[in-house]
Amino acid sequence: MASTTAITIPQSAEDIAPSWVQQVLQKDLPGVIITDVHVKGSISEGEGYVSDIIAFDAMGTRNDTSQRYSLVAKVTNFIKPLVGFKLWSKDIQINIETIETKFYANAVPELLSVAIPSTEPKSQAEKEDDPLDDSWFLPKCYFAATDPSSMVSVRVMENLKAQGFSIKPDHQPLSREEMMLAVGALAQLHGLSHRLELRSGKPLPEKYDWIISPSDDTAIAGMDILNHDCQDSVKEFAAAFPDQADLVARLEKLRLRVDLEEPRLKVFCHGDCWINNIMFEYAGNVPTGVKLVDWQTPIYMPPTYDLTLLFLCNASWDVFHNHRDAILAHYHRKLQETLGPKTQDESSGLWSYTLEQLTVDFKADCREGVINRFIRLGPLPADADLLRMLHEIKEWGVI
């Protein structure tokens, strides 16, 4: 993956020229010669608050063979007003956008470097119960960098839409099969980050000082804003369900909190794993692949932080209530598969993390999942499914 700032960062679509694309691709594709670039223009499936995503095809040759690459350039101009997050300071907006550049340029190559390919054959029954193929959990990124002088950042990645990936329309809940794929992607992320942490010999926030930790300035500055958003949404929920006074009283007490004494093992979490940031590939109506996108807010938290956000912001009541155990079991299998065999010089870590403990932690952390759902109550309005989930979580004594 290219990360050198010697490559010019484009200021607009007009700067995406053959010579520039050739520079970007040469590290991963040595010998590639780009002769023509067809810029298709801006595309966006999500909210599109922050970046301009420019699709383009690059044509040329490699090893005397004609080649065509479908790519996107994700360009962010920090001078441009980011109206989607009016309550956030510009410094915070710039910081979270720069984080994604650093994630792709610095963390991803090292995460993938510690991966252990699975060589064990699987039975037909295992294949049917395990829909995740061998692809990785995020799009391939060829180049990621920020130009401080022009206040512009860019990431050049494979065009997932051209490969048949898409975001579910109208914030539709994920099916059991889609949830299986999504938790498998999270298991890859969590498992690889744990291996990398052990390999480096120090906590990931020390290795990557841009990772958001619950106690750092970016997280603390954002908590007041997010708590404000959550409580505004609780008022909307109360108006939608006027007969739920007891539940509303419990929700009004919810606040994001910093627990500096949190003893549990932490991993690299996506931090924003909801429908707008998950893209699926389908064979007919069957989901066959998944990619997690938008890595502006990775956070160092226990694995269940991602899982509760995923369930509360993406699942229907049926999936949450009837298929939760199977989906968590699938996550646990994928996590152990990603970790691989434990060697003598590795501590117990996630290898000793049982499915039973994962289930206990998931229920306890659903409090954070509920807060994350209410933060997103605009695009994910209160409905009967949410009400049922909240009542089940209340029975666990979490809220």
What pLDDT sits at residue 94?
75
- In which domain, by residue range, is 18 found? 1-122+139-163
Asked whether residue 207 is domain-assigned, the answer is: yes
pLDDT digits (tens, 9 = 90+) for 75-93: 887 766 455 555 566 677 7
Q: How far is CA 314 from the centre of its chain?
A: 13
Mean pLDDT by 10 residues, the chain (399 residues): 66 90 94 96 61 93 96 83 56 79 94 76 44 69 86 92 93 97 98 95 93 71 81 95 97 82 90 95 95 93 97 98 98 96 72 96 96 92 96 96
pLDDT digits (tens, 9 = 90+) for 340-372: 987 655 557 999 999 999 999 999 999 999 999
Q: Are residues 234 and 307 in the same domain?
A: yes
Q: Are residues 99 and 235 in the same domain?
A: no
pLDDT digits (tens, 9 = 90+) for 280-337: 999 999 999 999 999 988 999 999 999 999 999 999 999 999 999 999 999 999 999 9
Asked whether residue 132 is domain-assigned, the answer is: no
Domain boundary among 130, 163, 196: 163
Q: Are residues 152 and 193 in the same domain?
A: no
Longest dimension (CA), the chain: 71
Asked whether residue 49 is domain-assigned, the answer is: yes
Can you give the CATH number for the domain in which 244 is found?
3.90.1200
Q: Are residues 113 and 218 in the same domain?
A: no
Asked whether residue 133 is domain-assigned, the answer is: no
Number of domains in the chain: 2
Q: Are residues 328 and 199 in the same domain?
A: yes
Whether the Cβ atoms of residue 251 and residue 121 lie closer than 8 Å to each other: no
Asked whether residue 276 is domain-assigned, the answer is: yes
Other beta carbons less than 10 A from residue 220's beta carbon: 13
Q: Are residues 332 and 354 in the same domain?
A: yes
Measured CA to CA, the distance from residue 269 to residue 264 in angstroms comes to 14
Q: How far is CA 220 from the centre of its chain?
A: 21
Closest listed residue to residue 193, CA positions, set 139, 268, 266? 268
Structural tokens at position 181: 């794929």
Measured CA to CA, the distance from residue 245 to residue 261 in angstroms comes to 33
Q: Are residues 385 and 261 in the same domain?
A: yes
What pLDDT sits at residue 347?
57
Measured CA to CA, the distance from residue 328 to residue 365 in angstroms comes to 14
Can you give the CATH number for the domain in which 84 is found?
3.30.200
Q: Are residues 292 and 191 in the same domain?
A: yes
Write down the pTM of the prediction.
0.90
With tokens 């391939």, the residue in question is 140
What pLDDT sits at residue 220?
66
Give, in order, the Cα–Cα distances in Å from 47 to each of 20, 50, 241.
29, 9, 27
